[in-house]
């Protein structure tokens, strides 16, 4: 419940500084990094997921299969999975991210968390309908696990690949063997988040800010007063030695798993943090925040390494120093302006002025996008970002975003007209 209240508070805050580099139009609710460290996937309240090419810092694809917030994401051997407030699970293949392989309606209430089995053949989901489900990659009826009394907020496979652990708002942690009854562990606080370390240790985050650490058998190791507000995201480092915990009002703190000591707290922009993920080598901690950005931090000393956009704006497009170029920075993660440049997550905007909607060659638009009766002009582009893509072009996969002021929208149009003019 608190998530909804917080979201309302966040949406009520005034628009952030324009021109900031970002991809999402809402808080970043879920994050995962591929084992080779080359890609990350983020899920957002804006109802999209974005696959990022980490080396360049650009958005590779916008994934659109959910009707509302994408609450959970995962990496599979051949692609990605996303799950949402709409109770659906979508499975994506890396070699074609234009549409999901399959979308299954699994739960009758929001899915709050998901976990990919270590062998990548099944997906476990935790839902506010009080149940868990295990869905095979190949399809078929999900196996349903019931017992929690209320929202289930966290889920994870144990290293054996079959045992599941879940964390619920009913203040229980449940360990589900492949067959037979679950073992129920009562904790002192309703639980919002769960992470399973590669060595099987478990960390659960309480709504009173307590971080519960348990061993692989479910025995209590320690209780850490991690924050004075609910813990909302937890992640173990790949070597199981450290655990990061985030609270929406507080910040992100890294703890030593063995001693329970706080190592350091992240200090800087991007708070509150909604989601956490370590790089596979454990050196970088990624955070997804209320500021709609994915940020990178040193997991060694907590230094802020900057937003995920790594290429300098000047390398992403040629800025003429105008206000419009400044505003366009927010678009450049997804759009290039040149004919030869590849399509990013969005189509190239080369020659977009005077072009009919949905006609850039070599780009796969979302179904129905091209059926809108729009020709792009400075005025229609201004309208697109005055009303927001989901209002002006319903059904689009472009994440919801707005450009706040008349002047900025006019400057943006002038810049695009000039910079994207066919040569
Ligand atoms: C996170 C990625 C992302 C960001 C950021 C983004 N867009 Fe898009 N944009 C897209 C996608 C994806 C599409 C294709 C929409 C579809 O197929 O539903 C698109 C489509 C468009 C189109 C229609 C193009 C056509 O060929 O019909 C325009 C115009 C556009 N974007 C302008 C912008 C501008 C200006 C900004 C910055 C204010 C921006 N976009 C920011 C992803 C993005």
Tens of pLDDT, residues 369-412: 999 999 999 999 999 999 999 899 998 999 888 898 999 999 99
Atom 40, ligand 1: residue with shortest CA distance:
331
What are the tokens at 29? 């609710």
Given a contact cutoff of 8 angstroms between Cβ atoms, the answer to whether 231 and 246 are in contact is yes
pLDDT in tens, 231-254: 999 999 999 999 999 987 768 999
Report which ligand 1 atom has the smallest distance to the Cα of 23.
1
- With a CB cutoff of 8 Å and minimum separation 6, the contacts of 287 are 31, 246, 252, 266, 270, 273, 275, 276, 294, 295, 297
CATH number of 313-419: 1.10.760.10
Q: Is the CB of 411 under 6 A from ligand 1?
A: no
User: Which of 191-200, 297-306, 325-334, 392-401 has the largest mean confidence?
Assistant: 191-200
The residue count of the chain comes to: 423
Distance, in Å, from the CA atom of 264 to the CA atom of 244, rounded to the nearest integer, reads 10
What are the tokens at 133? 């489900």
Report which ligand 1 atom has the smallest distance to the Cα of 358.
27
Q: Which residue has the higher pLDDT, 2 or 392?
A: 392
For the segment 215-228, the average pLDDT, to the nearest whole number, is: 93
Domain ranges within the chain, ordered by starting residue: 2-11+23-307, 313-419
Q: Is the CB of 316 under 6 A from ligand 1?
A: no
CA of 270 to the centre of ligand 1 (A): 24
Q: Is the CB of 365 under 6 A from ligand 1?
A: yes
pLDDT at 4 over 70: no
CB-count exposure of residue 149 (10 Å: 0-12, 13-18, 19+): exposed
Note the pLDDT of residue 225: 94
Which candidate, 90, 77, 1, 101, places its Cα nearest to that of 49? 90
Atom 18, ligand 1: residue with shortest CA distance:
396
CA of 347 to the centre of ligand 1 (A): 7
Q: Tell how far CA 124 is from the center of its chain.
A: 17
Given a contact cutoff of 8 angstroms between Cβ atoms, the answer to whether 23 and 374 are in contact is no
Distance, in Å, from the CA atom of 163 to the CA atom of 333, rounded to the nearest integer, reads 40
Q: Is the CB of 369 under 6 A from ligand 1?
A: yes
For the segment 131-146, the average pLDDT, to the nearest whole number, is: 95
Is-same-fold flag (2-11+23-307; 313-419)? no
The CB density around residue 248, as the number of other CB atoms within 10 Å, is 25
CA of 334 to the centre of ligand 1 (A): 7
Distance, in Å, from the CA atom of 196 to the CA atom of 327, rounded to the nearest integer, reads 41
Distance, in Å, from the CA atom of 124 to the CA atom of 142, rounded to the nearest integer, reads 9
Distance, in Å, from the CA atom of 168 to the CA atom of 204, rounded to the nearest integer, reads 10
Q: Which residue has the tokens 């008349």?
A: 406
Distance, in Å, from the CA atom of 305 to the CA atom of 303, rounded to the nearest integer, reads 6
The CB density around residue 132, as the number of other CB atoms within 10 Å, is 29
pLDDT in tens, 154-174: 999 999 999 999 999 999 999
CA of 338 to the centre of ligand 1 (A): 15
CA of 271 to the centre of ligand 1 (A): 26
pLDDT in tens, 106-121: 999 999 999 999 999 9
CATH class of 2-11+23-307: mainly beta
């Amino acid at each position: 419940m608190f998530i909804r209240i917080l979201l309302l508070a966040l949406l009520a805050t005034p628009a952030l500084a324009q021109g900031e580099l970002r991809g999402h139009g809402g808080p970043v609710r879920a994050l995962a990094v591929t084992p080779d460290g080359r890609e990350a996937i983020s899920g957002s309240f804006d109802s999209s997921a974005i696959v990022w090419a980490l080396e360049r810092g650009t958005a590779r694809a916008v994934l659109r299969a959910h009707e509302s917030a994408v609450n959970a994401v995962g990496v599979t051997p051949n692609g990605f999975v996303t799950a949402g407030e709409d109770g659906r699970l979508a499975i994506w293949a890396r070699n074609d991210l234009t549409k999901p392989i399959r979308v299954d309606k699994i739960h009758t209430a929001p899915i709050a968390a998901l976990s990919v089995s270590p062998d990548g053949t099944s997906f476990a989901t935790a839902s506010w309908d009080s149940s868990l489900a295990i869905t095979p990659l190949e399809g078929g009826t999900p196996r349903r696990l019931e017992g929690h009394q209320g929202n289930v907020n966290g889920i994870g496979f144990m290293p054996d690949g079959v045992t599941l652990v879940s964390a619920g708002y009913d203040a229980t942690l449940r360990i589900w063997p492949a067959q037979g009854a679950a073992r129920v562990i009562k904790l002192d606080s309703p639980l919002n988040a769960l992470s399973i370390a590669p060595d099987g240790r478990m960390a659960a985050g309480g709504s009173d800010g307590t971080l519960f650490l348990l061993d692989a058998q479910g025995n209590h190791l320690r209780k850490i007063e991690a924050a004075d507000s609910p813990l909302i995201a937890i992640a173990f480092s790949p070597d199981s030695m450290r655990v990061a915990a985030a609270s929406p009002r507080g910040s992100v703190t890294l703890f030593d798993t063995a001693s329970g000591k706080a190592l350091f707290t992240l200090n800087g922009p991007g708070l509150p943090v909604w989601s956490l993920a370590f790089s596979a080598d454990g050196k970088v901690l990624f955070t997804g925040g209320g500021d709609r950005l994915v940020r990178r931090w040193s997991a060694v000393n907590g230094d802020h390494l900057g937003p995920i956009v790594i290429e300098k704006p000047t390398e992403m497009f040629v800025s003429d120093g105008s206000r419009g170029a400044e505003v366009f920075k927010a678009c450049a993660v997804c759009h290039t302006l040149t004919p030869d440049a590849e399509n990013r997550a969005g189509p190239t905007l080369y020659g977009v002025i005077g072009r009919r909607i949905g006609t850039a060659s070599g780009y796969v638009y979302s179904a129905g996008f091209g059926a809108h009766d729009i020709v792009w002009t400075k005025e229609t582009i201004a309208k697109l970002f005055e009303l927001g893509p989901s209002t002006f072009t319903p059904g689009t996969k472009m994440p919801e975003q707005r450009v706040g002021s008349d002047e900025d929208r006019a400057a943006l149009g002038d810049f695009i007209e000039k910079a994207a003019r066919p040569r």
